[in-house]
Chains A and B, each alone.
Chain A
Amino acid sequence: MKYSTDTSGIFTRFDMEIEVTRRSIRRISSDFALQAIADCVADGDEEKTEEAVKEALEQKDPLEIIHEGLIPGMNEVSRLWDEGVYFLPQVILSSDAMMAGIKLCEQKLGKPLKKKGKIITHTAEGDIHDIGQSIVNALLNADGFEVINLGTDVPIDVVVEACLAHKPIMLTGTALMTTTMSAFPKIAAKLKSMNFNIPFVCGGGAVNEEFVTGFDLGIWGKEASQAPAMAGDILEGAHWQELRSKWNG
């Protein structure tokens, strides 16, 4: 078969044109041990992070390690992801590493670290497409939220009950099928009728802005990466209407 090397009229490799130059994480601490921990997190190396944390715990306060090593390291990863340098798996692996480090610190502390806030995530009833939800979970975890993961194919009532039980600051739903997304307005209506006006961020291939903003409480989530930022807005006092007008429309 003949292969043409001049492909200019056929396609353009926009990925090559926009590839950002590789950058590494910034220096986050002048303390050698803390910087090492951040580097391990940024490398997404769970084992090495654990080692580094264990070592540091011999001399340092667990809270210092968390707030000046593990979390800043993770923040750097998030920044590089936002800038298009890193890909998703790096975020996930770094998050896994950070979580492992935090776990060790918590053991030392004797009590769990206070999380930023509780968030319930789920994939709609009848739907097992959960990759989107997994990403959301990982990113929220990485950002310091407590994620209550209800999993896939979750009946409407289970979602509503979980909300009543846990009183999360935010609920998320993922639906990849047009036949499953109809659960979202039903959940929203039930919550609303109980006067539980919690922001309900819905995403996944099947839903779109129009659908989600068509019912009260609904905010459309285009990219998983928006979830932590939305949750951040809620911590700063945003109601669902405010979230919607900021993120949608």
Chain B
Amino acid sequence: MILDFEKPIKDFEARILELHRLAGSNEGLQEEISRLEAALESAKKRIYSHLTPYQRVQVARHPERPGFREYRDALADDFYELSGDRLGADDPAVRGGLARIGGHPVVLLGHDKGTDVKARVASNFGMAHPEGYRKAGRLYALAERFGVPVVALVDTPGAAPARGAEERGQAWAISADLMALARVPVPVVAVVVGEGGSGGALAMCLADHVSMLENSYLSVIAPEACASIIFRDPSRAAEAAEAMKITARDLLAHGIVDDVLPEPLGGAHNEPEAATTVVARAVEGSLSRLTKMEPKALVKARYERYRRMGAHLEAGEIGAENGAAGGISMEHPEGNAPVR
């Protein structure tokens, strides 16, 4: 799949390939190739360093973007998969098990969107059902039992808007995961590697350290849905994406996440190994730091981390009613101070 804004790049690439094919017997073409290659590089830089938030959402959703399997292989020396919620179902949208990452035994889990059509349908395009959240809950409990960290790779459009998911209590299941993550006395490391859709994403990234890949996003609602509710026009999704500040850099600036992991030029799908490597290094770094902390201190720090996230004004604070009601951007303590 080629995204709209990728077209100039893909055109350059096609021309370069064609010239290479012809170049064998023609010395002069080499020069033209070099020229085009330079142009390609600069086009890539120009395009990818100025992606709009909504373009990043499209990159985050790219079907060729690396997924759970690629990260799992890059991160883990061994991955011992566990299945099922122990209640009656196994949701392939959530995968997890024991793994070893950078020498640390961990519980590794993540959303798996699947790699072919059949798997994509089976995993409901990464939208977990309640069974998936309950499988995650079981994995959190195992991490606590064994005293090993949780590493979560987030990549979901969000919870499933589906009859069965409601009948089996997806809100209850997400809530139970949040409660579990809030108190699990082991390090919790999360990386948003693609889509970070609302509560379904949060059920895997209430964590001690949250990294985001440069072109991933984390949002309380899909930009399309936000546009259709607030602007009453789903085609204004780009505006909604802009307004909600859902990109990795925006969230870092707001102190919601801890770091932004650079993607290769052209996005993770253009150079999967570069993306998986940077994620693996980030996870290893977080694990090395967090495994040194006492469980109680970890849970306390996690408490304080989330407890202070918000943008309310205390009674009487700056201009109060008028200031806030007038839409003037206000100060909030953690607003501009990334944790690291």
Answer yes or no: do A and B interact. Answer: no
- A interface list, Cβ under 8 A from B: none
- B interface list, Cβ under 8 A from A: none
